[in-house]
Structure formats: C-alpha cells, structure tokens
Structure 1
Amino acid sequence: MGSSSKQSNKPGGKQDGLDRRARIAELRAAEQRRDRRNKIVASVVAGVLVVGAIATGTWVVMDQNQKKKDKQAAANADIPGVKTFGELSRTHVKDKVTYPMTPPVGGDHNAIWADCMAHVYDQPLENERAVHSLEHGAVWVTYNSKATPDDIKTLSDKVKKTPYSMMSPYPDEQGTITLNAWSTQLTVDSASDPRVEEFFTKYVQGKQTQEPGASCTMGQM
C-alpha cells in the first residue's frame, strides 16, 4: 500500500521539476532582456550626453568668438562727441604743468602715476600723476557738482570692476562727467549715456595707449 502511494507521486514530482526549470529559464530570459534594454538605454544616454557636450563646447567657442568680434568692432567704431588732441609730449617733469585741456589728457607729467587699478578716489587727483596713468592705458572718469548721487554710484561701480580705470571729482571741469584717455576726451551729462560703456570698451588699454602693459598699481595720488 505504501509502495503504490510512492508510485503515484513520481509523475507529479517530475512535472514539478520541469515547471521549476521552465520558470527559471523564463526568469533568466527576462533578466537577459532587461540587461539588453539597460545597455541600449545606457548607450543612447551616453550618445546624447556626448552630442550635448560637443554642442555645448561648440556653442561656448562660437559665443567667445562672437564676443571677441563684437569687442573688436566696438574698439574700431567711432563714438559721437569724442575729441582727440593729436600727438602730445611725454616728458617726465617735477613742476606743475599748464595743460591746454581740462581735465588734461596728455602732455608732460610726473614720473609717478596715480594708482589706476579700478581705483575710486573721493578727492581730486594731481593732474600730472593722472596724466601718467593715461599714458599707461587707463580711463580716468571725472565729475563735477552737477553729477547726481546715482551718476556717481553707477560710475563708481563701473570703475571698481574695471582694471586700468580710475575716478575722481574734478570741480573745475565744465561738463558734468568727463571720460578721459590719452589724447582723447568725451563729455556726457549722465552716467546712463550709452557712450560711457562704449568709451570704456574702446579706450581701456586701447590703441591710444602709449605704454601697453605698464603697471597701474603702486602709484600715488
């Protein structure tokens, strides 16, 4: 009786074994399919990232090239109202100099320049030292009592972030705000005048610079 019972269980045992192997095979096949899908997705993502990196790099280079072209174009463009004074002397002197323009933009000057590395002064500068700074390629912003607090703040913020520039009050000048570079000058009524930005772009270390690369630090007032 016990023997017949064991015989009746054998077919079911074989079938269970077959079913387990079939399920294992299905699971393995499903896992292989998932692995293939994951590899495909990873390849696609990697491709997208590579293409994106190439596109980003290309855009950055193109943007830099465009900015360089824009700057070169601005440096060559004429600015309405700018006055130039031709060739000016560059002799170092110890005495005070009488300049033909106010503020002065060139001529004989002191051997020591005014610090012009983004320096904002709250007192007038000595002409002879300021002129030496212009020789080094600085832009000197001056203003009189007609300049508003907003004008002064706007110009101060601009100078503070622009190496080879400086700013100081100049009570005797006729114009409200005067932008000065070597042998070059522009008068404006407001700091919001778009020519202010144009002047900085063109003349900070611009073509008018008599001593390119000369220091703007370690100067004096």
Structure 2
Amino acid sequence: MRPGDGLRHPRTRAATAKRATAKAATAKHEARIQEALRSRERRHRAFLLTVGAIVVAWLVGQWAFNAYQDYERKATAARKNVHGERVWAADALKFDHVEGNVDYPMTPPVGGSHDKAWMTCNGTVYTKAIRDENAVHSLEHGAVWITYNGLAGATDVKQLAERVARTPYTLMSPVAQQSGTIMLSAWGHQLTVDTASDPRVEQFITAYVQGPQTPEPGAACTGGITGK
C-alpha cells in the first residue's frame, strides 16, 4: 500500500460524495425528461390515431350518405318512369345462363336467358355489333345499353359515345336490325328516341344505371368480353 492510501482528506471524500450525488441527480433528471418525452410521444400517437379514426369514420359516413342519396335519386326517377319507355314485368324475364344463341322477343333484348360472360360495360363504346347474350348479362349487372341503327346521324353517334365513355355501367354498339334510330335498354326497360339531344336520354341513364331494376346490383362491369 502506498503512503496515504485510504487516508484521503475529509474534504476530498466530501467532494467525491457530492459529485456522486450530483451525478445521480442528473441521471434521475435526464430519466424524467426522457420519460416525459416518451409520454408526450405516446399521447401524440394516440391523438393522431383518434383523429385518423374520426376522419375515416366521417369519410365512410359521407360515402354512405352520398350512396344513399344517389340510390334515392335513381329510385325516384325510376318510379316516375321515363315518358315513352316500354316496361316488362320482372317475372317475365329469365335469369339463367345458357350456351349458344337465344331467340329474344324484342330487339335489342332487355333481359332473359343470357351467356355466362358479360360484355365489358365500364363506359365502353363498341363500333361493331356485339352478341345479345353477352349484352343482356351486362344489363343484369345494372348497365344501360345504348344502340343505334343506320339512320342515326354521325353527330348523334359521337355525342352518345362521349356520354357513354364518361359513364361507368354503360355500353354502346350498333344494332342494324332495331326498329328505332336510337334505343336505350336496361333490364326490363327500353326507350326509343330519334336524336341524342332528346332530354329523355339523360333521364333514362339517371334512372337505370345501377338502378333499382338491377337483378345483381354491384356486380362488375369490368373484366368481361371486350368484343376485340
């Protein structure tokens, strides 16, 4: 043992103890600060989660409210019927899937037995004739099918095509053998007009695109036959 070991001056021991006490106090203070920061972070995360949940709930509620209003608007329009439209009773139209061609009692058909594959009807414009059996399946999904014959003017065809292109659950194609110049068909409903500017065109689309007459509401209009 070296001389003086274990015989430190009392002032030295006191200073050492004071430094140790100060160090411990500093450590406790820093620990309290860190805990306060963590607590604040937890409160902040909880706040953000709460706000996020409120926003999501509001958005869902707003979507549901808008969807309900849209359905009510369509239902109200459908209950009034569109002036001049023809209507078929729901029980007069079959829903079954068949293979091959179907002899429909009206042209274009507004329902009945149909192919298991639907025509893509997501605002789809076909410049060539399509199969009735596939188009009827689209009507079952709530689509409106706009057709025209050789008497339709180029301007009318262009205007209708533009309207269809921006409207999901619609499709358009030529039907040379139909009796009317322009015809709009939904499941169990059909309207004949002479021009695309006839206000009943908009009324029919509003009433029957995914309207209350739809046998399979919400079924897809994408992923079907494209006709290409």
Which residue of the other structure, out of 125, 129, 132, is the alignment partner of 2:130? 125
Q: Which stretch shifts more, 85-94 or 137-146?
A: 85-94
AA aligned to 2:87 is: T
| Structure 1 equivalent of residue 118 of structure 2 | 113
Q: Which has the larger radius of gyration?
A: 1
CA distance in 1, matches of 2:78, 2:140: 18
What is the percent sequence identity of the aligned residues? Answer: 52
Match status 1:82 vs 2:90? no
Unaligned stretches of 5+ residues in structure 2:
1-65
| Structure 1 equivalent of residue 219 of structure 2 | 214
Partner SS for 2:184: strand
CA distance in 2, matches of 1:108, 1:181: 15
TM superposition shift of 1:168: 0.2
CA distance in 2, matches of 1:184, 1:178: 11
CA distance in 1, matches of 2:74, 2:139: 21
Match status 1:154 vs 2:136? no
TM-score by length of 2: 0.65
| Structure 2 equivalent of residue 102 of structure 1 | 107
Partner SS for 1:179: strand
Unaligned stretches of 5+ residues in structure 1:
1-63
Q: How many residues align?
A: 156
Question: Contact 2:128–2:174 (CA<8 Å) still a contact in 1?
Answer: yes
Report matched runs for 1:35-74 at 5 Å: 73-74=76-77
| Structure 2 equivalent of residue 144 of structure 1 | 149
TM superposition shift of 1:80: 0.9
TM superposition shift of 1:71: 5.7
| Structure 1 equivalent of residue 202 of structure 2 | 197
String of CA shifts for 1:83-122, please: whole Å, max 9, x gaps.
0111200110011100000001100000000000000000
TM-score by length of 1: 0.67
Question: Contact 2:126–2:172 (CA<8 Å) still a contact in 1?
Answer: yes
Question: Contact 2:74–2:212 (CA<8 Å) still a contact in 1?
Answer: no
Partner SS for 2:185: strand
Partner SS for 2:123: strand
**Counterparts in 2 of 1:109 and 1:138: CA distance versus 1, 3 Å:** same
Partner SS for 1:100: coil
TM superposition shift of 1:72: 5.6
Partner SS for 1:166: strand
CA distance in 1, matches of 2:173, 2:108: 11
| Structure 2 equivalent of residue 135 of structure 1 | 140
| Structure 2 equivalent of residue 176 of structure 1 | 181
